[in-house]
Amino acid sequence: MDKGQEILRRLETIHNLPTLPVVITKLREAISNPNADAKKIAQIIEDDPSMMARILKVVNSALYRGRQDVTSLQMAVARMGFNAISNIAMSTTIFSIFKSSGPTGFSHEDFWRHCICVGIGADVLYERCKDNLSKRYTPDILQLSGLMHDIGKIVLEQFFHASFRQAVTLSVEEEIPLCDAERKVMGVDHAEIGAVLAQRWHLTPDFAQVIRWHHKPMSINASEEYSELIRLCHTADYICNLERIGDGGNLTAPSFDQKVWGSLGLSVGDISEIVDAIKQQSAHSEVLMAFV
Ligand SMILES: [Fe+2]
Ligand SMILES: [Fe+2]
């Protein structure tokens, strides 16, 4: 058994891998019911007042371009839909699923800022190139995709701590992207590890695919159906790393697949405007950073 298989096997046997909060599980169950109604969904959230406050804060924030003006949860559910509310609920809870594991040189705050800003970046890119895309994405999907894309890193940091530290050090010493260093040290990278967690959490395929393929968007194994979302996150991730918006643990930016830019219908002339827009919009990360 090689190193990567060994780590994946060990991961399968970790029983204390974080689980989703009960309220999220309840929400998902309620949504999957064909007779789901807005009142019932709102009720589940209203039973958790801090969750309710967080959701209202987010939907009325600049992340949703302040256009919602939502004063009650029922209004939020009616306007935005069940799935969006469930995704936003998840966006405000994910930080508490992983506890900071102490002074390790891996800043949870910087890490989450990176992830939030990749979500913001994916949204900026989508708004810019949506006429060239075949699929429509709502802001909650784009933001939660970014928020979760690197989730495997936090699993590695908590459960394979020594090896992960070694990978971080190697990536600095050899000036190589962290995912390459992870594969050198552990035989597996955070995208593969994240995919295991996505499976354990029964995440929907859009998020699972972003987590698995955000470094290899053109892989023949990546699902065609979610390819556009994967490419948006891949590009946003590259820009956030390059511009050092937050800290995804990469001193060397992960490699960028040049074909992706053109495939989104963007030209070289668009680069600086998009980078500027992402830098500017990244200030909107504060609303979610308040929950870290
Ligand atoms: Fe990554
Ligand atoms: Fe990243």
What is the tens place of the pLDDT at every residue in 214-268?
A: 999 999 999 999 999 999 999 999 999 999 998 877 777 888 988 999 999 998 8
**Distance of CA 240 from the midpoint of ligand 1 (Å):** 11
Give residue 66's region: left, alpha or beta (phi > 0; psi -120 to 50).
left
User: What's the CATH code, domain 103-292?
Assistant: 1.10.3210.10
Provide the token pair at 9: 């096997």
84 token code pair: 């969006």
Gap from CA of 179 to ligand 1 centroid (Å): 7
Which single residue is written with the structure tokens 């000036």?
175
pLDDT given for residue 67 in this prediction:
67
For the segment 162-178, the average pLDDT, to the nearest whole number, is 93
What residues are neighbours of ligand 1 (ion), with CB under 5 Å? 150
Residue 285 C-alpha to ligand 2 middle, in angstroms? 15
> In sequence order, what DSSP letters do the residues of 84-117 get, joined into one string?
HHHHHHHHHHHHHHS---SSSS--HHHHHHHHHH
Domain residue extents for the chain: 13-97, 103-292
Q: Taking a C-beta distance cutoff of 8 angstroms, is the pair 191, 177 a contact?
A: no
pTM across the whole model: 0.96
Ligand nearest to the backbone CA of 110? 2
Q: Give the HSE-up count for residue 153: Cα atoms under 13 Å, Cβ half-sphere.
A: 25
pLDDT band (50, 70, 90) for residue 199: very high
